[in-house]
């Protein structure tokens, strides 16, 4: 994927797996570490050059209101891949004290 130019300063904008690298001394080593972990997860070299799209997973076994979320996530992942991006699913955790006790239904949260 070609590097995009940032408006104003003319430097190439990092995309895909090169975006937001930690600094471990040099960018090449940081990219190597990130690539190694992602490849260990089964992703191809082609996937590493795609933009990353995060998908929030709100499913839980105790909440029947979110029972259809796994099917929705799979549909969204297919759409993201068809659009040429790399879908990454992550869990949504509530950080409030009330979240420590499972509610009967947390559809509004």
Contact 5, 13 (CB under 8 A): yes
Is pLDDT of 77 > 90?
A: yes
Q: What is the mean predicted confidence (pLDDT) over 68-83?
A: 94
CA distances from 102 to 40, 65, 68, 109 (A): 34, 13, 18, 12
Q: Determine how many CB atoms are found less than 10 A away from the CB of residue 86.
A: 20
**Through-space distance between the first and last CA atoms of the chain, rounded to whole angstroms:** 38
pLDDT score at 1: 47
């Amino acid at each position: 994927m070609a590097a995009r130019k940032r408006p104003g300063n003319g430097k190439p904008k990092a995309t895909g797996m090169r975006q937001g690298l930690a600094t471990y001394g040099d960018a090449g080593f940081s990219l190597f570490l990130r690539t190694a972990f992602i490849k260990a997860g089964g992703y191809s070299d082609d996937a590493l050059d795609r933009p990353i799209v995060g998908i929030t997973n709100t499913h839980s076994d105790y909440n029947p209101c979110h029972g259809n979320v796994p099917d929705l996530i799979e549909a969204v992942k297919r759409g993201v891949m068809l659009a040429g991006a790399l879908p990454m699913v992550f869990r949504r955790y509530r950080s409030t004290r009330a979240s420590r006790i499972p509610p009967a239904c947390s559809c509004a949260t």
